[in-house]
């Protein structure tokens, strides 16, 4: 178990900033005093195949894509000081789920730019051949000045052509597209659905398809009897932006945006950014 002051290769651990079931994230510095976020596997047993594989997949995906201002920066990964670790840029902030729960004014003031930045982060990932498959507010960190970083690529996979059924179906049901919940073939348009859910939630503080179980969520997605268009909850949403969100949330993936670059273009137009 890591402790403050412990050394990990060239890094000194200072403070645990986040912890989950599989890993912890620590604020660390190198010998020059530069700050980093160091993600450590909690259970490093050799037989812990699934978690180790996902950890390494996420690190490799982050390593393989070029830097982008709205995606967490990669530094290095692998065995460091005897521990399996991923070293990333350190940004001081909280994820969007926590920001929404706190009614954070910085999020409210910057929500238009956040929606653009989120779409551009997905576009960058897709343009370099990967789909995220766990796109949600909890996996987006917002800094004090309102900039964002997309994080956690553990479930990411190469974009298949044509769409392919996933061997396993991990993810967060509230943000999973109907084809995922139905165990049908998927491609990058599942991320576009998740973008629509996230945008809806950021603008209305509600989930478009609530439910306690994956089956209940799927039923809401397919039946839509109680689905409320976002402007019925928040009339301040521009009509053009509502149309974008509704297209992202089309049940049939062929009716969503085919590629994220088109989504980015329309979001920028709807929010009056050239």
Active-site residue set: 134
* Type and span of the H or E element at 16: strand 11-19
| 3 state SS of 70 | coil
Q: Which two tokens stand for residue 81?
A: 């000081």
Cα gap 74→96, rounded to integer Å: 21
Residue in 177, 174, 242 with CA at minimum distance from that of residue 203:
242
Give me the residue label for tokens 């490799």: 60
Q: How many residues does the chain have?
A: 274
Q: Which two tokens stand for residue 219?
A: 């039923």
N-terminal to C-terminal alpha carbon distance within the chain: 49
């Amino acid at each position: 178990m890591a402790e403050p002051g412990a050394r990990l290769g060239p890094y000194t651990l200072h403070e645990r900033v986040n912890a989950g079931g599989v890993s912890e994230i620590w604020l660390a510095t190198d010998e020059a005093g530069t700050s980093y976020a160091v993600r450590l596997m909690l259970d490093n047993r050799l037989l812990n195949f699934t978690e180790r594989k996902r950890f390494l997949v996420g690190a490799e995906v982050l390593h393989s894509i070029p830097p982008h201002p709205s995606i967490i920066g990669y530094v290095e990964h692998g065995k460091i000081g005897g521990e399996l670790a991923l070293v990333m840029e350190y940004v001081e902030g909280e994820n969007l789920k926590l920001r929404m729960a706190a009614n954070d004014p910085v999020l409210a003031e910057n929500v238009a730019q956040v929606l653009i930045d989120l779409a551009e982060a997905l576009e960058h990932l897709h343009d370099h051949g990967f789909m995220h498959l766990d796109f949600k507010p909890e996996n987006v960190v917002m800094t004090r000045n309102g900039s964002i970083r997309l994080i956690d690529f553990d479930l990411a996979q190469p974009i298949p052509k044509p769409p392919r059924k996933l061997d396993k179906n991990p993810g967060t049901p509230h943000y999973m597209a109907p084809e995922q919940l139905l165990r049908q073939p998927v491609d990058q348009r599942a991320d576009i659905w998740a973008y629509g859910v996230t945008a809806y939630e950021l603008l209305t503080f509600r989930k478009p398809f609530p439910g306690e179980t994956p089956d209940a969520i799927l039923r809401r997605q397919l039946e839509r009897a109680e689905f409320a268009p976002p402007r019925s909850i928040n009339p301040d949403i521009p009509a053009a932006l509502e149309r974008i969100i509704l297209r992202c949330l089309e049940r049939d993936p062929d009716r969503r945006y085919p590629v994220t670059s088109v989504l980015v273009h329309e979001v920028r137009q709807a929010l009056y950014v050239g």
